[in-house]
Amino acid sequence: MLPLEGIKVVEIAQNLAGPVAAEILAHMGADVVKIERPEGDDARRWGPPFWKGVSPGFLAVNANKRSVTLDLKKVSDVEWLVDVSGRADVLVQTLRPGSLEEQGLGAAALTAKHPRLEYCSVWAFGATGPLRLKPGYEPMVQAFSGLMAMNGDEGAPPTRIGTSILDYGTGMWTAIGALAGLVQRQQTGRGCVVDASLFETGLAWLKGHFASFRASGEIPERHRTGSHRVVPFQGFETKTGPLIIAAGNDRLFAKLAQVLGHPEWATDPRFATNDARVASKSDLLPAIEAILTTRSKGEWIDLLEAAGVPCAPIHTLPEAVAQPQAAAIGMIQPVPGDDYDLVALPLSFDGARPGIRLAPPKPGEHTREIRGG
Protein backbone atom coordinates (compact mmCIF):
# COMPACT_ATOMS: atom_id res chain seq x y z
CA MET A 1 0.00 0.00 0.00
CA LEU A 2 1.27 3.45 -0.90
CA PRO A 3 1.09 6.28 1.68
CA LEU A 4 -1.46 8.42 -0.19
CA GLU A 5 -3.84 5.71 -1.43
CA GLY A 6 -7.38 7.04 -1.08
CA ILE A 7 -6.33 10.69 -1.49
CA LYS A 8 -7.90 12.40 -4.50
CA VAL A 9 -6.15 15.27 -6.28
CA VAL A 10 -7.38 17.63 -8.99
CA GLU A 11 -4.62 19.25 -11.04
CA ILE A 12 -5.53 22.37 -13.02
CA ALA A 13 -2.00 23.05 -14.12
CA GLN A 14 0.34 22.96 -17.05
CA ASN A 15 4.02 23.36 -17.93
CA LEU A 16 6.16 22.19 -14.99
CA ALA A 17 5.79 23.42 -11.40
CA GLY A 18 2.15 22.47 -10.80
CA PRO A 19 2.39 19.15 -12.65
CA VAL A 20 5.51 18.30 -10.61
CA ALA A 21 3.59 18.90 -7.37
CA ALA A 22 0.72 16.68 -8.49
CA GLU A 23 3.09 14.03 -9.82
CA ILE A 24 4.82 13.77 -6.44
CA LEU A 25 1.44 13.09 -4.83
CA ALA A 26 0.55 10.66 -7.63
CA HIS A 27 3.75 8.66 -7.19
CA MET A 28 2.90 8.29 -3.50
CA GLY A 29 -0.46 6.73 -4.37
CA ALA A 30 -2.88 9.64 -4.78
CA ASP A 31 -5.48 9.47 -7.56
CA VAL A 32 -4.60 12.53 -9.65
CA VAL A 33 -7.00 13.83 -12.28
CA LYS A 34 -5.24 16.25 -14.61
CA ILE A 35 -7.57 18.87 -16.09
CA GLU A 36 -6.44 20.03 -19.54
CA ARG A 37 -7.75 22.29 -22.26
CA PRO A 38 -9.08 20.39 -25.29
CA GLU A 39 -5.71 20.90 -27.04
CA GLY A 40 -3.84 19.68 -23.96
CA ASP A 41 -1.07 20.99 -21.72
CA ASP A 42 1.27 23.41 -23.54
CA ALA A 43 4.23 21.33 -22.34
CA ARG A 44 3.14 18.48 -24.62
CA ARG A 45 4.52 20.54 -27.52
CA TRP A 46 7.85 21.61 -25.99
CA GLY A 47 10.32 20.10 -28.43
CA PRO A 48 12.03 18.65 -30.32
CA PRO A 49 12.84 16.03 -29.35
CA PHE A 50 9.53 14.19 -29.17
CA TRP A 51 8.65 10.66 -28.13
CA LYS A 52 5.73 9.38 -30.20
CA GLY A 53 4.64 12.96 -30.79
CA VAL A 54 4.91 14.13 -27.17
CA SER A 55 7.58 16.29 -25.54
CA PRO A 56 9.84 14.41 -23.12
CA GLY A 57 9.42 17.41 -20.82
CA PHE A 58 5.73 16.57 -20.49
CA LEU A 59 6.34 12.85 -20.08
CA ALA A 60 8.87 13.51 -17.32
CA VAL A 61 6.32 15.01 -14.90
CA ASN A 62 2.95 13.47 -15.74
CA ALA A 63 3.10 9.75 -15.00
CA ASN A 64 0.54 8.11 -12.70
CA LYS A 65 -2.18 10.61 -13.66
CA ARG A 66 -5.49 10.47 -15.52
CA SER A 67 -6.45 13.22 -17.96
CA VAL A 68 -9.80 14.96 -18.46
CA THR A 69 -10.22 17.72 -21.04
CA LEU A 70 -12.51 20.64 -20.21
CA ASP A 71 -13.39 23.93 -21.83
CA LEU A 72 -13.56 26.33 -18.91
CA LYS A 73 -15.41 28.84 -21.09
CA LYS A 74 -18.39 26.47 -20.88
CA VAL A 75 -20.60 26.88 -17.83
CA SER A 76 -21.32 23.15 -17.71
CA ASP A 77 -17.61 22.28 -17.62
CA VAL A 78 -16.95 24.81 -14.85
CA GLU A 79 -19.89 23.47 -12.85
CA TRP A 80 -18.56 19.93 -13.20
CA LEU A 81 -15.11 21.04 -12.05
CA VAL A 82 -16.58 22.82 -9.00
CA ASP A 83 -18.48 19.65 -8.14
CA VAL A 84 -15.53 17.28 -8.59
CA SER A 85 -13.34 19.58 -6.50
CA GLY A 86 -15.70 18.93 -3.61
CA ARG A 87 -14.88 15.23 -3.82
CA ALA A 88 -11.14 15.92 -3.91
CA ASP A 89 -8.74 16.29 -1.02
CA VAL A 90 -6.21 18.50 -2.83
CA LEU A 91 -6.44 20.92 -5.75
CA VAL A 92 -3.27 22.17 -7.47
CA GLN A 93 -3.61 25.09 -9.86
CA THR A 94 -1.18 27.20 -11.88
CA LEU A 95 -3.44 29.03 -14.30
CA ARG A 96 -3.06 32.68 -15.24
CA PRO A 97 -3.29 34.78 -12.07
CA GLY A 98 -6.86 35.98 -11.63
CA SER A 99 -8.40 33.71 -14.25
CA LEU A 100 -9.81 31.15 -11.83
CA GLU A 101 -11.40 33.86 -9.71
CA GLU A 102 -13.25 35.08 -12.80
CA GLN A 103 -14.78 31.62 -13.18
CA GLY A 104 -15.63 31.05 -9.53
CA LEU A 105 -12.76 28.59 -9.13
CA GLY A 106 -10.49 30.74 -6.97
CA ALA A 107 -9.32 29.79 -3.51
CA ALA A 108 -11.89 31.87 -1.60
CA ALA A 109 -14.86 30.57 -3.57
CA LEU A 110 -13.90 26.89 -3.63
CA THR A 111 -12.77 26.64 -0.01
CA ALA A 112 -15.97 28.37 1.13
CA LYS A 113 -17.99 25.80 -0.82
CA HIS A 114 -15.71 22.86 0.06
CA PRO A 115 -14.10 23.63 3.44
CA ARG A 116 -12.13 20.35 3.59
CA LEU A 117 -10.30 21.08 0.32
CA GLU A 118 -6.54 21.74 0.35
CA TYR A 119 -6.24 24.49 -2.27
CA CYS A 120 -2.67 24.82 -3.61
CA SER A 121 -1.67 27.66 -5.92
CA VAL A 122 1.66 27.98 -7.72
CA TRP A 123 2.65 31.53 -8.60
CA ALA A 124 5.57 33.03 -10.46
CA PHE A 125 6.37 35.80 -7.96
CA GLY A 126 4.09 35.19 -4.97
CA ALA A 127 0.47 35.34 -3.83
CA THR A 128 0.78 38.95 -2.61
CA GLY A 129 2.75 42.06 -3.52
CA PRO A 130 3.04 44.26 -6.60
CA LEU A 131 4.05 41.34 -8.87
CA ARG A 132 1.26 39.01 -7.75
CA LEU A 133 -0.40 38.98 -11.17
CA LYS A 134 2.80 38.94 -13.22
CA PRO A 135 3.29 35.70 -15.18
CA GLY A 136 6.73 34.16 -15.31
CA TYR A 137 8.79 31.27 -16.62
CA GLU A 138 11.85 29.54 -15.18
CA PRO A 139 14.61 31.65 -16.84
CA MET A 140 12.85 34.90 -15.94
CA VAL A 141 12.67 34.01 -12.27
CA GLN A 142 16.17 32.52 -12.13
CA ALA A 143 17.28 35.97 -13.27
CA PHE A 144 14.91 37.98 -11.07
CA SER A 145 15.62 36.02 -7.87
CA GLY A 146 19.39 36.47 -8.06
CA LEU A 147 19.96 32.76 -8.61
CA MET A 148 21.36 33.22 -12.12
CA ALA A 149 23.82 35.87 -10.94
CA MET A 150 25.32 33.36 -8.50
CA ASN A 151 25.91 30.70 -11.14
CA GLY A 152 28.87 30.41 -13.52
CA ASP A 153 32.46 31.60 -13.56
CA GLU A 154 33.57 34.65 -11.63
CA GLY A 155 33.86 37.50 -14.11
CA ALA A 156 31.81 35.71 -16.77
CA PRO A 157 28.16 36.42 -17.65
CA PRO A 158 25.49 35.02 -15.29
CA THR A 159 24.51 31.47 -16.23
CA ARG A 160 21.17 29.72 -16.11
CA ILE A 161 21.23 26.54 -14.01
CA GLY A 162 20.96 23.69 -16.49
CA THR A 163 17.78 22.14 -15.08
CA SER A 164 14.46 23.76 -14.21
CA ILE A 165 15.38 23.98 -10.56
CA LEU A 166 12.71 26.55 -9.70
CA ASP A 167 9.87 24.65 -11.35
CA TYR A 168 10.90 21.35 -9.80
CA GLY A 169 11.63 22.96 -6.45
CA THR A 170 8.36 24.88 -6.34
CA GLY A 171 6.51 21.68 -7.19
CA MET A 172 8.26 20.00 -4.28
CA TRP A 173 7.40 22.81 -1.83
CA THR A 174 3.78 22.73 -3.03
CA ALA A 175 3.56 18.99 -2.42
CA ILE A 176 5.10 19.43 1.04
CA GLY A 177 2.53 22.15 1.79
CA ALA A 178 -0.31 19.93 0.62
CA LEU A 179 0.86 17.08 2.85
CA ALA A 180 1.19 19.42 5.85
CA GLY A 181 -2.30 20.71 5.15
CA LEU A 182 -3.69 17.18 5.13
CA VAL A 183 -2.13 16.53 8.53
CA GLN A 184 -3.64 19.77 9.85
CA ARG A 185 -7.03 18.81 8.44
CA GLN A 186 -6.99 15.65 10.51
CA GLN A 187 -6.88 17.86 13.59
CA THR A 188 -9.19 20.70 12.52
CA GLY A 189 -11.51 19.14 9.96
CA ARG A 190 -10.79 22.01 7.58
CA GLY A 191 -8.48 22.39 4.62
CA CYS A 192 -6.24 25.37 4.02
CA VAL A 193 -4.82 27.46 1.20
CA VAL A 194 -1.21 26.68 0.25
CA ASP A 195 0.74 29.22 -1.82
CA ALA A 196 4.17 28.70 -3.36
CA SER A 197 6.09 30.50 -6.08
CA LEU A 198 9.18 30.26 -8.22
CA PHE A 199 10.51 33.51 -6.73
CA GLU A 200 10.21 32.21 -3.17
CA THR A 201 11.95 29.00 -4.20
CA GLY A 202 14.77 30.97 -5.81
CA LEU A 203 15.31 32.98 -2.64
CA ALA A 204 15.15 29.81 -0.55
CA TRP A 205 17.86 28.14 -2.66
CA LEU A 206 20.04 31.18 -1.94
CA LYS A 207 19.63 31.03 1.84
CA GLY A 208 23.29 30.14 2.38
CA HIS A 209 24.47 32.93 0.10
CA PHE A 210 22.14 35.36 1.86
CA ALA A 211 23.49 34.37 5.28
CA SER A 212 27.04 34.96 4.04
CA PHE A 213 26.04 38.32 2.57
CA ARG A 214 24.41 39.40 5.84
CA ALA A 215 27.49 38.36 7.80
CA SER A 216 30.08 40.04 5.58
CA GLY A 217 28.26 42.64 3.51
CA GLU A 218 29.94 41.15 0.45
CA ILE A 219 28.30 39.27 -2.41
CA PRO A 220 29.70 35.72 -2.45
CA GLU A 221 31.99 34.96 -5.35
CA ARG A 222 30.83 32.63 -8.09
CA HIS A 223 32.61 29.35 -8.70
CA ARG A 224 32.08 26.90 -11.55
CA THR A 225 32.02 23.84 -9.33
CA GLY A 226 33.26 25.12 -5.98
CA SER A 227 32.25 26.92 -2.83
CA HIS A 228 32.96 30.42 -1.60
CA ARG A 229 33.16 29.11 1.98
CA VAL A 230 35.10 25.82 1.78
CA VAL A 231 38.46 25.16 0.04
CA PRO A 232 39.22 22.83 -1.68
CA PHE A 233 35.65 21.89 -2.52
CA GLN A 234 35.44 21.87 -6.32
CA GLY A 235 36.35 20.31 -9.65
CA PHE A 236 39.91 19.85 -10.88
CA GLU A 237 41.30 18.65 -14.20
CA THR A 238 43.35 15.47 -14.37
CA LYS A 239 45.19 13.85 -17.26
CA THR A 240 41.97 12.13 -18.41
CA GLY A 241 39.16 14.44 -17.33
CA PRO A 242 37.74 16.30 -14.35
CA LEU A 243 36.89 15.12 -10.87
CA ILE A 244 35.47 16.73 -7.75
CA ILE A 245 37.41 16.87 -4.49
CA ALA A 246 35.44 17.84 -1.38
CA ALA A 247 37.81 18.27 1.55
CA GLY A 248 35.15 19.64 3.86
CA ASN A 249 37.28 20.05 6.99
CA ASP A 250 40.89 20.40 8.11
CA ARG A 251 41.26 16.67 8.82
CA LEU A 252 40.26 15.80 5.27
CA PHE A 253 42.57 18.46 3.88
CA ALA A 254 45.49 16.89 5.78
CA LYS A 255 44.65 13.54 4.14
CA LEU A 256 44.46 15.22 0.73
CA ALA A 257 47.81 16.92 1.27
CA GLN A 258 49.34 13.53 2.08
CA VAL A 259 47.94 11.96 -1.12
CA LEU A 260 49.24 14.88 -3.19
CA GLY A 261 52.74 14.46 -1.79
CA HIS A 262 52.70 17.66 0.29
CA PRO A 263 52.02 16.66 3.89
CA GLU A 264 53.60 19.94 5.01
CA TRP A 265 50.52 21.80 3.68
CA ALA A 266 48.54 20.54 6.68
CA THR A 267 50.67 22.68 9.01
CA ASP A 268 51.49 25.54 6.65
CA PRO A 269 49.86 28.70 8.14
CA ARG A 270 48.52 29.57 4.68
CA PHE A 271 46.60 26.30 4.38
CA ALA A 272 46.23 24.70 7.82
CA THR A 273 42.70 25.96 8.47
CA ASN A 274 39.76 26.44 6.17
CA ASP A 275 39.61 30.21 6.61
CA ALA A 276 43.31 30.39 5.74
CA ARG A 277 42.74 28.24 2.64
CA VAL A 278 39.88 30.47 1.54
CA ALA A 279 42.18 33.51 1.87
CA SER A 280 45.05 31.72 0.08
CA LYS A 281 43.07 29.85 -2.58
CA SER A 282 44.80 31.70 -5.43
CA ASP A 283 48.03 29.96 -4.34
CA LEU A 284 46.58 26.60 -3.27
CA LEU A 285 44.13 25.69 -6.05
CA PRO A 286 46.56 26.03 -9.00
CA ALA A 287 49.12 24.01 -7.06
CA ILE A 288 46.60 21.21 -6.50
CA GLU A 289 45.58 21.15 -10.15
CA ALA A 290 49.18 21.08 -11.36
CA ILE A 291 49.70 17.90 -9.37
CA LEU A 292 46.41 16.31 -10.43
CA THR A 293 47.18 16.74 -14.13
CA THR A 294 50.10 14.31 -13.77
CA ARG A 295 47.85 11.24 -13.42
CA SER A 296 44.56 9.92 -14.76
CA LYS A 297 41.21 10.55 -13.15
CA GLY A 298 40.84 6.89 -12.25
CA GLU A 299 44.24 6.74 -10.57
CA TRP A 300 43.49 9.77 -8.43
CA ILE A 301 40.06 8.49 -7.43
CA ASP A 302 41.60 5.21 -6.29
CA LEU A 303 44.24 7.04 -4.25
CA LEU A 304 41.84 9.57 -2.75
CA GLU A 305 39.20 6.99 -1.83
CA ALA A 306 41.85 4.77 -0.22
CA ALA A 307 42.86 7.73 1.95
CA GLY A 308 39.26 8.60 2.82
CA VAL A 309 39.13 11.87 0.88
CA PRO A 310 35.63 12.52 -0.57
CA CYS A 311 35.79 12.69 -4.36
CA ALA A 312 33.78 11.84 -7.46
CA PRO A 313 34.16 11.82 -11.22
CA ILE A 314 32.18 14.44 -13.13
CA HIS A 315 29.83 12.25 -15.13
CA THR A 316 27.86 13.01 -18.25
CA LEU A 317 24.14 12.17 -18.07
CA PRO A 318 24.58 8.80 -19.87
CA GLU A 319 27.46 7.93 -17.56
CA ALA A 320 25.45 8.80 -14.46
CA VAL A 321 22.40 6.71 -15.31
CA ALA A 322 24.60 3.79 -16.39
CA GLN A 323 26.20 3.54 -12.95
CA PRO A 324 25.49 0.30 -11.03
CA GLN A 325 24.35 2.47 -8.12
CA ALA A 326 21.56 3.97 -10.24
CA ALA A 327 20.32 0.46 -11.05
CA ALA A 328 20.67 -0.68 -7.44
CA ILE A 329 18.42 2.07 -6.09
CA GLY A 330 15.87 1.70 -8.91
CA MET A 331 15.64 5.36 -9.87
CA ILE A 332 15.08 4.64 -13.57
CA GLN A 333 11.80 2.83 -14.16
CA PRO A 334 9.96 1.58 -17.25
CA VAL A 335 6.70 3.15 -18.35
CA PRO A 336 3.90 0.55 -18.45
CA GLY A 337 2.91 -0.33 -22.00
CA ASP A 338 5.79 1.58 -23.58
CA ASP A 339 9.48 1.05 -24.32
CA TYR A 340 10.35 4.29 -22.53
CA ASP A 341 11.92 4.93 -19.12
CA LEU A 342 11.39 7.77 -16.64
CA VAL A 343 13.05 8.93 -13.45
CA ALA A 344 11.12 7.68 -10.44
CA LEU A 345 10.20 9.34 -7.14
CA PRO A 346 13.36 9.92 -5.07
CA LEU A 347 11.75 8.42 -1.95
CA SER A 348 11.26 4.89 -0.66
CA PHE A 349 8.78 3.60 1.90
CA ASP A 350 9.66 0.53 3.99
CA GLY A 351 12.48 -0.12 1.56
CA ALA A 352 10.31 0.02 -1.58
CA ARG A 353 10.27 2.81 -4.15
CA PRO A 354 6.82 3.69 -5.55
CA GLY A 355 6.58 2.54 -9.15
CA ILE A 356 5.23 4.11 -12.32
CA ARG A 357 1.74 2.62 -12.47
CA LEU A 358 0.26 4.67 -15.30
CA ALA A 359 1.89 6.08 -18.42
CA PRO A 360 1.60 9.86 -18.91
CA PRO A 361 -1.91 10.26 -20.30
CA LYS A 362 -3.07 11.42 -23.71
CA PRO A 363 -5.18 14.60 -23.63
CA GLY A 364 -8.61 13.66 -22.32
CA GLU A 365 -7.76 9.96 -22.26
CA HIS A 366 -9.88 9.40 -19.14
CA THR A 367 -12.67 11.94 -19.75
CA ARG A 368 -15.34 9.31 -20.45
CA GLU A 369 -14.13 7.11 -17.58
CA ILE A 370 -14.29 9.96 -15.05
CA ARG A 371 -17.16 12.14 -16.35
CA GLY A 372 -19.23 9.38 -17.84
CA GLY A 373 -21.36 9.71 -20.96
- Residues 114 and 259 placed together within one structural domain of the fold: no
Looking at the 3D structure of the chain, how many domains does it have?
Answer: 2
> Beta strand pairing status for 233-238 and 241-246?
antiparallel
Query: Whole-angstrom Cα distance, residue 226 to residue 218?
Result: 18
Question: What CATH number did the domain enclosing 307 receive?
Answer: 3.30.1540.10
- Residues 130 and 167 placed together within one structural domain of the fold: yes
Query: Whole-angstrom Cα distance, residue 345 to residue 313?
Result: 24
Query: Whole-angstrom Cα distance, residue 148 to residue 151?
Result: 5
Per the CB < 8 A criterion, the answer to whether 82 and 51 are in contact is no
Query: Whole-angstrom Cα distance, residue 47 to residue 51?
Result: 10
- Residues 256 and 341 placed together within one structural domain of the fold: no
Instruction: Report CA-CA distances (Å) from 237 to 103, 222, 232, 287, 319.
Output: 58, 19, 13, 12, 18
- For residue 303, the number of C-alpha atoms closer than 13 Å in the C-beta half-sphere is 16
- Residues 62 and 159 placed together within one structural domain of the fold: yes
Q: Kindly give the interhelix angle for 250-259 and 297-307, rounded to the nearest 10 degrees.
A: 130
pLDDT at 102: 85
Per the CB < 8 A criterion, the answer to whether 121 and 93 are in contact is yes
Our CA angle for 358, 9, 11, nearest 5°, is 85
Distance between terminal CA atoms of the chain? 31
Tell me whether residue 223 is in a domain.
no
DSSP character string of 266-291: GT-TTTSSHHHHHHTHHHHHHHHHHH
The SS3 of residue 28 is coil
Domain final residue, candidates 267, 287, 313: 313
Q: Kindly give the interhelix angle for 207-216 and 198-205, rounded to the nearest 10 degrees.
A: 60
- Residues 277 and 353 placed together within one structural domain of the fold: no
- Residues 109 and 194 placed together within one structural domain of the fold: yes
Tell me whether residue 360 is in a domain.
yes
Tell me whether residue 185 is in a domain.
yes
Q: Give the closest residue to 355 by CA, choosing from 324, 327, 333.
A: 333
State yes or no: is 167 an active-site residue. Answer: yes
Q: Which pTM was predicted?
A: 0.92
- Residues 69 and 191 placed together within one structural domain of the fold: yes
Query: Whole-angstrom Cα distance, residue 365 to residue 367?
Result: 6
Strand spans (E) along 37-165: 65-69, 90-93, 118-123
- Residues 196 and 253 placed together within one structural domain of the fold: no
- Written as tens digits, the pLDDT of the chain (373 aa) is 899 999 999 999 999 999 999 999 999 999 999 999 999 999 999 999 999 999 999 999 999 999 999 999 999 999 999 999 999 999 999 988 778 888 889 999 999 999 999 999 999 999 999 999 898 999 999 999 999 999 888 888 899 999 999 999 999 999 999 999 999 999 999 999 999 999 999 999 999 999 988 999 988 888 888 888 899 999 999 999 999 999 999 999 999 999 999 999 999 999 999 999 999 999 999 999 999 999 999 999 999 999 999 999 999 999 999 999 999 999 999 999 999 999 999 999 999 999 999 999 999 999 999 998 5
- For residue 117, the number of C-alpha atoms closer than 13 Å in the C-beta half-sphere is 27
- Residues 101 and 35 placed together within one structural domain of the fold: yes
Tell me whether residue 41 is in a domain.
yes
Tell me whether residue 214 is in a domain.
no
Q: What is the largest CA-CA distance in the chain?
A: 80
Of 167, 275, 338, 350, the active-site residue reads 167
Range of the domain at 165: 8-205+328-371
The SS3 of residue 191 is coil
- Residues 294 and 332 placed together within one structural domain of the fold: no
Tell me whether residue 309 is in a domain.
yes
Sheet containing strand 311-313, strands side by side: 233-238, 241-246, 311-313
- Residues 164 and 289 placed together within one structural domain of the fold: no
Q: 167 Cβ partners below 8 Å, 6+ apart?
A: 15, 16, 17, 20, 138, 198
- Residues 140 and 241 placed together within one structural domain of the fold: no
